Amino acid sequence: MKKLPIVYHKKILVLGLAKSGTAAAEILHDLGAFVTVNDAKPFDQNENAQYLLSKGLTVICGSHPEDLLDEGFSLIVKNPGIPYTNSVIAEAKKRGIPVWTEVELAYRISDAPMIGITGSNGKTTTTTLIFEMLKQGQKHPLIAGNIGTVASSVAKEAVGDNTIVTELSSFQLMGTEQLKPKIAILMNLYEAHLDYHADFQEYTDAKFNITKNQDASDWFIYNGEQQLVMDYAEKSKGIKVPFYVSKKTNDGISADDQFVYWNGEKIFERSSIALRGKHNLENVLAATAAALLMDCSLADITAVLTTFHGVKHRTQFIREWKNRKFYNDSKATNALATKSALEGFSEPVILLAGGVDRGHSFDELIPYLHRVKALIHYGETAERLQKFGEEQSIPTVTGVNNLVEAIEEAVKVSDVGDVVLLSPACASWDQYASFELRGDEFIEKVIALKE
């Protein structure tokens, strides 16, 4: 871990604990800072605050006192989930106090280079693929950020021959100043998190921070088929590596119906990729480009691609049962995500969908419904999905009470060669606390099917 003179013997405020705040506070303390932590959760219910107090840090819990900033802090490190409209953060900005998220701290203390991955969709799968490829190639990767261990905790332990593969959200990137990944990846940009960001411009500008500080010694991998991403790429000073999923090109990494190409040269057949879907092809191309830039061999890359069946709950292959294939895409909480999943299948699909009714349209699914032989629905959206399925002339549209019954019905109506796909197009909260719990139940019941 690098020393950080900017914090040594300086008063630092860590605002918001949870995992990232607790890790940042402890690291800053170890670096010789005078750390105060402030968290809204009461002290008697706050294990993280109790732990930090035992380490000798100053702890203020239960509220954000109006006079908190009068202590003369030279820096604030905030939990990414705390918005910039928070009164303490807003006042800090007025006073000119720098505000970081802990990934900025992670970058500054790390002895290892970083690969940073961001975008509206595909971050987790791309991050996981890169990690697996580097591991296969014996490049000593570590995984961090949204997907795994807190980035600063990983950076604290990293050494020079490691590479930190880091999934980065707009929340994290907005609080960076010097962050400069060796390889930065911007997957795509769609409207998201507008309840946190002031507007779409602020959101996309935050995403651009992943490459803002790069120079000609770094690489910037980006979506060469989305105009907004291309516009941001023009501003990057990194070496540009675009990816294209719909055509062969002579620059960057690209794919046609049969092959994947690196700078126009054929490198492997698309049929060797286990992951399904155009959206996953974006992830595969971005990850492959990063692995090639890190000197992984094609043999190591394809060894991962032929065996990697997806991150949990993201078009994840579960098993083949009586020549039917079951996929868990519980992460698909809107129609756009379900559309992307359907796009990846040429086989007949039995679609399991439903959940919280947020009034969203299902019309984005229409171009891909010719692949759906049966729609089995449940939850709050049942009535709307029944009507939608009938209007679109899906051969079988059936309503059930819950996901377990939907699996049972799918088994009854399925034939050899079918795909049974859980891709709900709805949030889970009417029957499950999270999409993860919904997906876990699907996995459990599918694995339990008797031969």
Query: Residues comprising the binding site?
Result: 119-125
- Beta-carbon contacts of 58 under 8 Å, excluding residues fewer than 6 positions away, are 34, 35, 36, 37
Q: Answer for the pair 126, 117: CB distance below 8 angstroms, yes or no.
A: yes
Half-sphere exposure of 392 (CA within 13 A, CB side): 23
Query: Facing residues of 141 across strands?
Result: 163
What residues are paired with 34 via a beta bridge? 11
Angle at 219 between CA 216 and CA 224, to 5 degrees: 120
Beta strands, E only, 62-151 = 75-78, 99-101, 114-118, 141-145
How many Cβ atoms are within 10 Å of 62's Cβ, its own excluded? 15
Q: What residues form the annotated binding site for ATP?
A: 119-125
| DSSP one-letter string for 130-154 | HHHHHHHTT--EEEEETTSB-HHHH
The amino acid at residue 141 is P
Q: Is 27 exposed, middle or buried (0-12, 13-18, 19+ CB in 10 A)?
A: buried
What's phi and psi for 112, nearest 5 deg? -110, 150
Q: How many residues are listed for the chain in this entry?
A: 451
